[in-house]
Amino acid sequence: MLSRLQAFFSHLTARQAFSLFAVALLTSAFLIFENIGEPLSPSLPVILYGSTLFYCQKKFFLTLNTTVKDSPYFLGFILTLLGLMEILNGGLVAQGTSTVVPRVGAAILPTVFGIFFRQLLLSWDSSDAYFDREYQSIADGLRTDAAKFRDAQARFVGLVTEFVKTREELLSGEEKVFGEYVAALKEGTSVLAKIQRNYPKRIDGLLEDIAAVSGRVSNAASSIEATVTALTQTYAREFEENRRVLAAARSDLENQAAAAQLAIGNSLSGFAAHAEGLRQAAASHVSGSQSVRDANTKLAEQIAESSAEVSHVVGDLKRLAAEVKAIDEIIGDLINLLSNRVRELRAE
């Protein structure tokens, strides 16, 4: 029996506490309506009920909820109302003062004891103290966290401000870079448009000049070839004529020498005729040499003219090469400029 009671008190629940509450209420109401042991007896169930709760809380370290801890006060207040109702139903005039005062005391005392035990249960509740400590530690942690949060918030605001400032600087830098890039593109576009407008014409002009120079070179080559052919033929004819003249002169000299050996002493007239023949042969030889010299002079003049024409053609070719090189350099500079801009944008 004792062990069962100990188990009951050590595991007291809110429903079991309500059962004790109902028993105490019925007992005190019976004592009030039967006027037994007034003014103290109606308060005894309240005292017993509050003592039982305090015993369970203190002895077995039960954690009672707020409703159970407030139940002694509720019990006393209900009994007070029941006592006052019973007094009013009996009639205050019919009852004497000596009867009414104990009965009013019996109605009020349960509330007094209920308030006392309610405060006792609340004050001696270790769980409340524990919860108070926990709440206090939580509150301290919350205050600390709130202070840290404010500091973190201030740092966050600073970081956001710095980020916004940095982002504005980056955007301004990007805007500047893009402006320069657009300006470079416009400049490149204008250069390309200019090249597109002028380059085909210049190419056509260069091709026409090259064709003209090629024609002049071809004409000069044909002229040189014709001149060389004519000179070759002239030299061949002159050489053949000179060879024939020299052969004839040699034959004459040999004949004359033979005749001179046979009739050297016979007549001076024969020697004079022989001398005249020699003179004529020499004059013919001199005339042939003069023709060769004239042909050489003419060939030199034609070669000089051909050289001047070739020099002119070479100068035109050099000028065209210089113009093509300048155009290539402009295109290369434009390509390098665009490549550098693209690399700068990729690096940023």
Query: What is the full per-residue pLDDT of the chain (348 aa) written as tens digits?
Result: 677 777 787 888 889 999 999 999 999 999 988 888 888 899 999 999 999 999 988 888 778 888 999 999 999 999 999 988 888 886 554 555 667 777 888 889 999 999 999 999 988 877 666 666 777 788 888 888 888 888 888 888 888 888 888 888 888 888 888 788 788 888 877 777 777 677 677 777 777 777 777 777 677 767 777 776 776 777 667 667 766 776 776 677 667 656 656 755 555 455 455 546 555 654 554 455 566 566 657 666 766 666 666 677 667 667 766 776 776 677 677 677 767 766 776 676
343 by Cβ neighbours in 10 Å (0-12 / 13-18 / 19+) ranks as exposed
Judge contact between 59 and 9, C-beta under 8 A: yes
65 near 14, Cβ under 8 Å?
Answer: yes
Residue 282 is predicted with a pLDDT of 47
Q: What is the pLDDT of residue 50?
A: 94
CA distances from 6 to 34, 60, 234 (A): 33, 9, 158
Amino acid sitting at position 282: A
Structure confidence at residue 330 (pLDDT):
74
| Integer Cα distance of 17 and 69 in angstroms | 10
Task: List domains and CATH numbers for the chain.
Answer: 2-124 (no CATH), 170-347 (1.10.287)
Q: How many CB atoms lie within 10 A of CB 29?
A: 17
Buried b (16+ CB within 10 A) or exposed e, 2-21: eeeeeeebeebeeeebeebb
| Ramachandran region, residue 308 (left: φ > 0; alpha: ψ -120 to 50; beta: rest) | alpha
Residues 6+ apart with CB under 8 A from 126: 57, 61
DSSP 57-69: HHHS-----HHHH
Report pLDDT for 108.
93
By the 10 Å C-beta count (0-12 exposed, 13-18 middle, 19+ buried), 326 is classed as exposed
Tally: H helices and E strands in the chain: 7, 0
Peptide bond into 39 cis (omega under 30): yes
SS3 content of the chain, % helix, strand, coil (to 5): 90, 0, 10
